[in-house]
Amino acid sequence: GAEASQGKVYQIGTDITFAPFEFQDTSGKYVGIDMDLLDAIAKEQNFQYVVKPLGFNAAVQALESKQVDGVIAGMSITDERKQKFDFSDPYFDSGVIMAVRSDNTDITGYEDLKGKKVAVKTGTEGYTFAQSIASKYGFTVVPFDDSSLMYEDVKSGNSVACFEDYPVLAYVAKTKDDLKLVGDKEKGASYGFAVGKGQNQELLEKFNAGLKDLKASGEYDRIKSKYLAENN
C-alpha cells in the first residue's frame, strides 16, 4: 500500500563500470547518464533508493532472484529478457560495435579475426552478437565479468578485439587513446530500466512518469549532453 511504498528504499543494481552510463568520478561517487537520470527521476517522483554496483551480469541475476528491486545498467530491452523482466519506456538507443587496440592495423573487419581471440563481457548483447558470428569468422570468444577487464585483455594483446555497446566504446575511444572502433555499428536494442516481471510496478510507473517529465523539461537532454558530445 501507499504507506509501505513511501518508506521503501529501493535497491537498484548497476554495472561496475560502463561509462558514460555508470562510472565512479574522482571522489568515488557513481555518476553517468543512468545515475543522473535515476537521481533526477527519484527526486521528481519522490522515492528513495540505494545503488548497488554489482557488475552487469550479477545485477541482472540479482534482479531475477529478487535481491534487488530494479536494474539500470545500459540494459538492452531484448525479447528474451522481457520473459523475465518488465522494462520502462526505452531511454537510449544503442547497438554493438567492435574495437581494437589503437595501434592495431591488422584487423579492419570481422574476416581478419580468423584464429584470434576476441574479448566479450558475460551476459551482454555484445557477447551474444560476437558468439553469433564466431564460427563464421573462425574466432574464439573470451568472456570477462566487467568492461575494464575486457579492455585490458585487448590492450595486453591477448585478445585482438572486443565487442561492446557503441556509445560505451565510442566514449572509451574518445576519452582514452588506447582503443579504436572498427567497422559499422550493428543493430541493437534500446536501453530500459528493469524490474522483475510483475514486481515493483509502482516503481516502474514512477520511472516512466519521471522520464516523460525530464524529457519534456529538457533535463533529459541536459543529462545526456553533459556526458556526450553533441554529435552522439
Residue ranges binding ligand GLN (CB under 6 A) = 15, 18, 56, 73-76, 94, 121, 124-125, 165
Which residue type sits at 9?
V
Q: Which is nearer to ligand GLN, 69 or 165 (CB)?
A: 165
Shortest distance, position 60 Cβ to ligand GLN, whole Å: 8
Q: Which is nearer to ligand GLN, 53 or 210 (CB)?
A: 53
Q: Which is nearer to ligand GLN, 73 or 161 (CB)?
A: 73
Shortest distance, position 183 Cβ to ligand GLN, whole Å: 18
Q: Which is nearer to ligand GLN, 6 or 132 (CB)?
A: 132
Buried b (16+ CB within 10 A) or exposed e, 106-120: ebeebebbeeebbbb
- CA-nearest of 156, 124, 4 to 141 is 124
CA distances from 226 to 48, 174, 209, 222, 223 (A): 24, 15, 22, 6, 5
Beta bridge partners of 159: none
Shortest distance, position 142 Cβ to ligand GLN, whole Å: 16
Shortest distance, position 146 Cβ to ligand GLN, whole Å: 8
Q: In angstroms, rounded to a whole number, what is the distance separating the alpha carbons of residues 223 and 194? A: 20
Q: Which is nearer to ligand GLN, 129 or 139 (CB)?
A: 129
Shortest distance, position 62 Cβ to ligand GLN, whole Å: 14
- Which residues, in sequence order, are CB contacts of 230 under 8 Å at separation 6+? none
